[in-house]
């Protein structure tokens, strides 16, 4: 029962953050839940091979590799959920919604503008190359430092800094009229 309790502790400690990360990277709650289950299945299978001191980075490396494989699969066989736009809206995993600053303004026009801005930011981030997108999501949403991101992506800290720089530069080009504080 000790192994089962330890595994439950890992899921309890890292589950919410990982599910949020997967929702943000996939934009689809169902796909995120499937990847979540597959990630922890692999963690359980490969637990004996873990040789490090940063479990979180190892966990995110597994999830990231599964996510990239999912993107490749989707590219080969595109599919679109009729609910995709709202899949993650209720579950708190709506991609990139928190990038757009919140304001207490309740004007009807403001709400529409804010939703349009969210959509534009979401589309711009989804247009980033995979490593840039993953770096941005891990840094902004998962609050991971560059060392943890490097471990999760299997690259150097310098490469992570480059990915982040290029991601922000590209977002600046894709969203020239968006205030700098929004990103």
Domain spans of the chain, in order of start: 1-92, 96-183
Handedness of CA 30, 7, 144, 39 (dihedral sign): negative
Residue 85's pLDDT is 41
Q: Is the pLDDT of residue 83 over 60?
A: no
pLDDT band with cut points at 50, 70 and 90 for residue 90: very low
Question: Which is more confident, 67 or 91?
Answer: 67
Q: Is the pLDDT of residue 24 over 50?
A: yes
Q: Is the pLDDT of residue 97 over 60?
A: no
Listed residue (69, 105, 74, 83) closest to 30, CA to CA: 83
Distance CA 74, CA 40 (A): 22
Pull the structure tokens for residue 46: 């490969």
162 exposure class (CB count in 10 Å sphere: 0-12, 13-18, 19+) = middle
Query: What is this structure's pTM?
Result: 0.66
Residue 178's pLDDT is 76
Question: Which is more confident, 170 or 178?
Answer: 170
Residue ranges in the chain assigned as alpha helix (H):
2-26, 29-46, 55-76, 108-126, 130-140, 146-153, 157-174
Residue 145's pLDDT is 93
pLDDT band with cut points at 50, 70 and 90 for residue 106: low
Listed residue (17, 3, 6, 8) closest to 56, CA to CA: 17
Pull the structure tokens for residue 75: 């590219």
End-to-end CA distance of the chain: 46
Q: Is the pLDDT of residue 157 over 50?
A: yes
Mean pLDDT of the chain: 80
Distance CA 130, CA 128 (A): 6
The average pLDDT across 94-109 equals 50
Let me know if domain 96-183 sits in CATH 2.30.30.100.
Answer: no
The average pLDDT across 135-159 equals 92
Residue 84's pLDDT is 42
Q: Is the pLDDT of residue 50 over 90?
A: no
CATH class of 1-92: mainly alpha
């Amino acid at each position: 029962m000790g192994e089962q309790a330890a595994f439950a502790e890992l899921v309890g400690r890292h589950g919410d953050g990982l599910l949020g990360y997967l929702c943000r990277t996939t934009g689809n709650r169902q796909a995120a839940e499937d990847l979540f289950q597959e990630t922890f299945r692999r963690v359980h299978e490969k637990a004996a091979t873990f040789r490090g001191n940063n479990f979180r980075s190892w966990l995110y490396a597994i999830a990231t590799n599964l996510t990239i494989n999912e993107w490749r699969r989707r590219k080969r066989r595109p599919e679109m959920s009729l609910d995709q736009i709202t899949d993650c809206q209720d579950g708190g995993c709506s991609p990139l919604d928190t990038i757009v600053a919140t304001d207490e303004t309740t004007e009807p026009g403001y709400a529409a503008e804010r939703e349009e801005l969210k959509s534009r930011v979401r589309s711009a981030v989804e247009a980033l190359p995979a490593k840039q997108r993953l770096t941005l999501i891990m840094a902004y949403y998962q609050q991971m430092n560059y060392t943890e991101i490097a471990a999760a992506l299997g690259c150097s800290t310098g490469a992570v800094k480059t990915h982040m720089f290029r991601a922000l530069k590209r977002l600046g080009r894709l969203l020239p009229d968006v205030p700098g504080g929004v990103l």
